[in-house]
C-alpha cells in the first residue's frame, strides 16, 4: 500500500513517468491532506484500489492531466472529502469488473469531474452517493462508460443518498428532468 498524506500533508506528481502500487491512499488520517497529480505517463494500482480521502476527516485530491490510470477499485470520498478530475485527454481504465464509488462512507463527500475531449473513465459499475454525498460531472467532450451487464445481475449504475449527475443535454429523458435547470444539473434523492 502506498500512502500520500498519512498524518500531515503530502503530494505526489507523476510527470510523464510511471507508478505501480498494490494500493494507493490519498489523504489517510483525520486532518491529513493528500494530493496525486498525473501529467501524462502511466499509473497502475492493484487490488488495494485507489482511495481518495481514505480516512474520516481527511482530504484527498487526484488530478489526471493526460496519461492513463488503471485500477480495479476507485473510491472518491472514501470516508473524508475527496475530489478527482480527469482532464486533458486523461483516462481511467477499470475493465468490466471495475467499481467506482463516489461518496462511499457515512459522512463522506465525493466529487468527480471528467472534462475535455478524449478524457474518459470506463468501469464495470458506478455508485454515486453510497452512504455519503456524491457528485459526478461530465462536460466539454469528456465521457464515462459503464460496461453492459446481463439482466440477471445487479444494476451497474446506482444513485443513492444525495447523488448528483451533470451532463448537458444527455440526461433529458423524463419530464421531471427536462424541467431541472435546462437539464444541466439533475439531482436524485435516495429511495431506501
pLDDT digits (tens, 9 = 90+) for 21-63: 999 999 999 999 999 999 999 999 999 999 999 999 999 999 9
- Answer with the residue of higher pLDDT: 169 or 18: 18
Report pLDDT for 155: 56
- Say if pTM beats, i.e. exceeds, 0.75: yes
Beta bridge partners of 164: 135, 187
The rounded radius of gyration (Å) of the Cα atoms in the chain is 16
> Can you tell me the mean pLDDT for 103-113?
96
Report pLDDT for 147: 83
Nearest Cα residue to 111 out of 78, 71, 160: 78
> Can you tell me the mean pLDDT for 125-132?
92
H or E element at residue 140: none
Report pLDDT for 173: 37
Q: List the strands of the sheet with 9-15, edge to edge.
A: 9-15, 33-39, 59-65, 81-87, 109-115, 133-139, 162-166, 186-189
The answer to whether residue 138 scores a pLDDT higher than 50 is yes
Cell 478524449 sits on residue: 118
pLDDT-derived band of residue 167, with 50, 70 and 90 as boundaries?
Answer: low
Question: Which DSSP letter does residue 155 get?
Answer: P
Report pLDDT for 166: 58
pLDDT-derived band of residue 151, with 50, 70 and 90 as boundaries?
Answer: low
Amino acid at each position: 500500500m502506498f500512502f500520500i498524506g498519512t498524518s500531515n500533508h503530502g503530494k505526489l506528481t507523476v510527470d510523464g513517468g510511471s507508478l505501480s502500487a498494490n494500493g494507493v491512499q490519498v489523504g489517510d488520517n483525520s486532518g491529513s491532506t493528500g494530493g496525486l497529480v498525473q501529467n501524462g505517463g502511466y499509473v497502475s494500482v492493484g487490488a488495494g484500489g485507489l482511495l481518495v480521502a481514505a480516512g474520516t476527516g481527511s482530504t484527498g485530491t487526484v488530478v489526471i492531466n493526460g496519461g492513463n490510470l488503471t485500477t480495479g477499485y476507485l473510491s472518491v470520498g472514501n470516508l473524508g472529502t475527496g475530489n478527482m478530475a480527469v482532464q486533458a485527454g486523461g483516462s481511467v481504465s477499470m475493465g468490466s469488473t471495475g467499481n467506482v464509488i463516489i461518496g462511499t462512507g457515512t459522512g463522506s463527500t465525493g466529487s468527480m469531474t471528467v472534462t475535455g475531449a478524449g478524457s474518459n473513465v470506463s468501469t464495470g459499475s458506478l455508485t454515486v452517493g453510497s452512504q455519503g454525498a456524491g457528485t459526478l460531472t461530465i462536460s466539454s467532450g469528456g465521457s464515462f462508460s459503464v460496461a453492459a451487464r446481463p439482466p440477471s445481475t445487479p444494476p451497474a449504475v446506482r444513485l443513492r443518498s444525495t447523488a448528483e449527475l451533470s451532463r448537458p443535454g444527455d440526461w433529458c429523458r423524463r419530464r421531471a428532468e427536462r424541467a431541472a435547470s435546462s437539464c444541466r444539473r439533475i439531482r436524485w434523492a435516495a429511495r431506501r
